[in-house]
Amino acid sequence: SPPGSIHLAQVDNFFRFGHTKARAQDELAKLQAVFSTIGLPLHELQCGQVMKSLGWVWDSALLRMSITPDKLAVMRVKLSAWAKASELGGRDIESVTGLLNFLADGCEAARPFVGCFYKLRAEAKNRARSGQCSMEDVKVVIDPRGECAASLQTVAEIFAEWDGVCPVVGGFSPVAFAQVVGFTDASTKDGCGGFAYVPVPTTMAPGGDIFAFSECYPSAIVEEAKVVEKESTAFLEAFAIYRWMVLFGAEFARRRVLIFSDSKSALGGIARAFSPVPRLQRIIKLIRILVARYHTTLRCAYVHTSRNIVADHCSHLRRAEADEECRALFGRRLRWRGIGPTLPSGEAGISDS
């Protein structure tokens, strides 16, 4: 090619926005003019508040994105089959990775599960290269206790009940802070507890009240925690976060939620959406299901025990002390919540009675 020449290839999905239809049409005309001058035609021009792009249907009036029922049905069949498979072919692994990437674009709940399949796909490609064969000929055994198997099972369960709609929720950024903040704690004997509040009140999430919970463990949780001290601590701390989501998740749906805990082990498993410890993995799975159900953008962070005093009192069932500490810190009393609705006990192997 001559020096300075420019090669043009097909490119997708240019978006121009306007507060009115006339403004949007004007922006579209400007974009057309730019590409017309270089002889690059534009196809499938759309203008309006509802349009199809990147495999999603975008609705700027309702601030949501969705997929068609037919696509959702096919996706569910594939996820269910992959979740039951003891091995996956190279092309299947590429399909899983691609589908999870697609879902992660619109659904926060799918994002933690993509990473392990990047590694699995790289392994499959290395096998194909070393064996000088195609990806169709590669077979990878899926460890039933491994991260990929757990991810597929959780994703299949999450999207089995999904309606195909994702509200457009702004993610965390340097200028987009938590809309709801929670603190949780778990004691080794008494129970778990915590509280939730809105740091910056808005019309969508009015502040003022600080809601708290303080409750004994279900008997099944107590029995399951009696194994190894380090693991049981993470298990109980994760259970406290799960109970926070059960009690407050629906009320603070479609929000950026930041939950503090003083257990790094529990936080690591929740962030990764996986733990090799089966009982902890079950709690993590329940948390991820609730995140998907309430369209929550969830982040968890570590707080030192010395700064988690209110939640610590709650976990030891010391409600009066928790209330007194809250008034000293925030100038407000706690509003207590009772036991809320939970997922069916059979899904977790636990009971909340």
Number of C-beta neighbours around residue 84 at 10 A: 11
Query: Which amino acid would we find at residue 261?
Result: S
Q: Looking at residue 227, what is its pLDDT?
A: 53
Q: Looking at residue 191, what is its pLDDT?
A: 92
Q: Looking at residue 24, what is its pLDDT?
A: 78
User: Cβ(51)–Cβ(62) under 8 Å?
Assistant: no
Q: pLDDT tens for residues 192-207?
A: 999 999 887 665 555 6
User: Cβ(51)–Cβ(58) under 8 Å?
Assistant: yes
User: Cβ(147)–Cβ(153) under 8 Å?
Assistant: no
- What is the spatial distance between Cα 205 and Cα 80, in angstroms, rounded to a whole number? 36
Q: Buried (b) or exposed (e) across 300-331, using 16+ Cβ within 10 A? A: beebeeeebbbbbbbbbbbeeebbebbeeeee
Per-residue tokens: 270: 């929740």
- Give 256's Cβ-side CA count (13 Å radius): 15
Query: Which amino acid would we find at residue 17?
Result: F
**Structure letter (DSSP) for residue 89:** E
- What is the spatial distance between Cα 30 and Cα 161, in angstroms, rounded to a whole number? 42
- What is the spatial distance between Cα 184 and Cα 194, in angstroms, rounded to a whole number? 4
Q: Looking at residue 142, what is its pLDDT?
A: 95
Q: Looking at residue 207, what is its pLDDT?
A: 61
What distances in angstroms separate CA 239 from CA 27, 234, 242, 279, 335, one per listed residue? 50, 8, 5, 10, 21
Q: Looking at residue 106, what is its pLDDT?
A: 78
| Residue found under tokens 């903040």 | 181
Q: In degrees rounded to 5, what are phi and psi of residue 254? A: 60, 35
- What is the spatial distance between Cα 152 and Cα 100, in angstroms, rounded to a whole number? 10
User: Cβ(220)–Cβ(351) under 8 Å?
Assistant: yes
Low-confidence ranges of the chain (pLDDT < 50): 7-8, 10, 339-353
| Residue found under tokens 């059979």 | 346
Question: What secondary structure does DSSP assign to 42-66, as a single string?
Answer: --S---SSEEEETTEEEETTTTEEE
